[in-house]
Amino acid sequence: MRQRRHRPLFAADLLRSTTSMMAVSQRLVGASAFGDTASAAAWRTVPSWALTG
């Protein structure tokens, strides 16, 4: 993604200085992420929550 599109798409409510740092620190996903299998389901061990209304 182009850096100039990062703020309006992902963090329009944050300061420009913050979103600028976020945009330049993004990395591409490794190709192995699409082929590796998970050894365990993270949702079973990582605390999480959701709010529905």
Q: 10-residue block means of pLDDT along the chain (53 residues)?
A: 83 89 83 84 82 74
pLDDT on residue 41: 85
| 3-class SS of residue 8 | helix
pLDDT on residue 51: 74
| Integer Cα distance of 8 and 14 in angstroms | 10
Helices (DSSP H) in 1-53: which residue ranges?
3-10, 16-25, 42-45
What's the predicted TM-score (pTM) here? 0.46
